Chains A and B, each alone.
Chain A
Amino acid sequence: MMTGFWTSMRRDLVLATRHKSEWLTALFFFVMVTNLLPLGVGPEVSLLRKIAPGVLWIGALLSTLLGLQRLFSSDHADGTLEQMALSPVPLAWLVAGKMVTHWLVCGLPVVLMAPLLGLQFDLPSRSLGILVLSLLLGTPILSAVGALGAALTLGLRGGGALLSLLILPLYIPALIFGAGAVEADMAGISPQGHLSLLGALLVLSVFFSPWVTSLALRIALE
């Protein structure tokens, strides 16, 4: 089982390193969206500092959506996915491997880039730490829940737009607690409550999502 997980993860990582443009696009999208916002609302520092947690979190949310569509589609197109579904290794483990890779490729760069962007919004350095921590806990949730959406919309017309319609409402709790943690810290309140709830969401989604996603994949493959 674990070897299946590692194999699936390693394979996707190799694929990702060979198609660098795919995940770099998501990262640049994140940078671009967050940088457009000050142009839209004006350069006033106090306002920017106030909206920074929300902007950075929404940027992270949208940029993970970009990579999600490709999570299963190329494997579906060339029949690999069917072989995976037929293999003796539980599909959920293979799916988990793909999810972890998606996070490493689409989530982790966002987490690492976020403090830099936070500086542009003049976030205090302690809040930058909380921002990284909240994204570190939160982005795996986005990958896990998003994988379910990717599986449900696999091979459908207008899959990308549909995916965001299905998944964005389910991202709301992560957004609220993630951005809330940073806001609480900036307001001088302990962000621990928000972070704990984010951790709880993380455990729940990472535990259940591979299983539900593999069910959705089997429905799509029928």
Chain B
Amino acid sequence: MSNSVINWFKYASPATFYPLAGRLIPWFSGLAVLLIAWGLWIGLFVAPTDAQQSEGYRIIFVHVPASWLSMFIYCVMAFWSALGLAFNTRLSGMLTAALAPTGALFAFLSLWTGALWGKPMWGAWWVWDARLTSQLILFFLYLGFIALQSAIDDPRRADRAGALLALVGVVNVPIIYFSVQWWNTLHQGASVSLTKAPSMAHVMLEGMLIMALGFWSYAIAVVLTRVRCIILERELTSEWVKRNAVD
């Protein structure tokens, strides 16, 4: 391949991706700590008290970014799954497997913080509302994916079966979402929408976006660390691991 063409597949090999991930992890970890600290400071000290929900609303600084990320990570998983099935790259499957626990964690965090918020606001830990229910189902989808992957011993089959499941899941998520939406809805509308002006104070939005970026950095750092472990596990017998990684 000539030098003028970018080699898109350079980092598709675990051998080249492993050191790259190792170099990126400290940056994203540091960024995560800084952004989350900044976001929490805005959320807890700078942002004004809400007129209707008083101090209780402050949990959205954790709740909303966690919910965003749980949904986004599932899409990323589906993306890598499609790529893995199409190009038969090993790394895609490893990345998908590394993403799933983080996604599940955020889905759980979103449900948990939602329950904590729901108790003072709605007077109930849990209501059968469309958005809560579909978030719960997303959590189930993550669990199903993790369970399937851990039940299969052969990593190649685990990757491909998981990829298929993630793709079927991502097709089903909108169907499930709308079916649950028609079934029942009580949740307040989306906090942030791209099409209409935000209905909240700027400083609140700012805090939330910073928190979201901080969570992103955290997710990237954790996923890269996990994918490095998976790479080592699977490539333990290969030459490059023996040469470089095991010091």
Footprint of B on A, CB under 8 Å? 148, 152-153, 156-159, 162, 165-166, 168-170, 172-173, 176-177, 180, 197, 201, 212, 215-216, 219-220, 222
Contact between B160 and A219, CB atoms less than 8 A apart: yes
> How near does chain A come to B174, taking the closest CB pair, in angstroms?
10
Judge whether A212 and B164 touch: CB under 8 Å: yes
Q: Is the interface of A mostly helix, strand, loop or mixed?
A: helix
Shortest distance from the beta carbon of B120 to any chain A beta carbon, whole Å: 29
Interface contact B144-A166, CB-CB below 8 Å: yes
**Minimum Cβ distance to chain A for residue B159 (Å):** 9
Whether A216 pairs with B141 at a CB distance below 8 angstroms is no
Q: Which of A165, A176, A215 contacts B179 (CB 8 A)?
A: A176
Q: For the complex, give the distance between the alpha carbons of A177 and B178 in Å.
A: 11
A-B CB contacts (within 8 Å), total count: 65
**Cβ-closest chain B residue relative to A200:** B175
Q: Which DSSP category, helix, strand, loop or mixed, fits chain B's interface?
A: helix
> Does B37 reach chain A (CB closer than 8 Å)?
no
B167 to chain A, nearest CB (A): 8
In the complex, whether B148 has a CB less than 8 A from a CB of chain A is yes
Are the C-beta atoms of B183 and A169 separated by less than 8 Å?
A: no
1/0 contact trace for B78-94 toward A, CB 8 Å? 00000000000000000
Q: Which 7 A-B pairs have the closest CB atoms?
A: A173-B179, A166-B144, A219-B160, A169-B140, A156-B151, A176-B179, A165-B144
Interface residues of B in 155-203 (CB under 8 A from A): 156-157, 160-161, 164-165, 168-169, 172, 175-176, 179-180, 182-183
In the complex, besides A169-B144, A219-B164, 17 extra interface pairs with C-beta distance below 8 angstroms are A152-B161, A152-B165, A156-B151, A156-B152, A157-B151, A162-B147, A165-B144, A170-B168, A170-B169, A170-B172, A172-B179, A173-B176, A173-B179, A176-B182, A180-B183, A197-B179, A216-B164
Q: How far is the CB of B178 from chain A (nearest CB, A)?
A: 8
- Do A220 and B141 touch across chains, with their CB atoms under 8 A apart? no
Task: Give the residue of B137, B157, B164, B182 whose beta carbon is less than 8 angstroms from that of A169.
Answer: B137
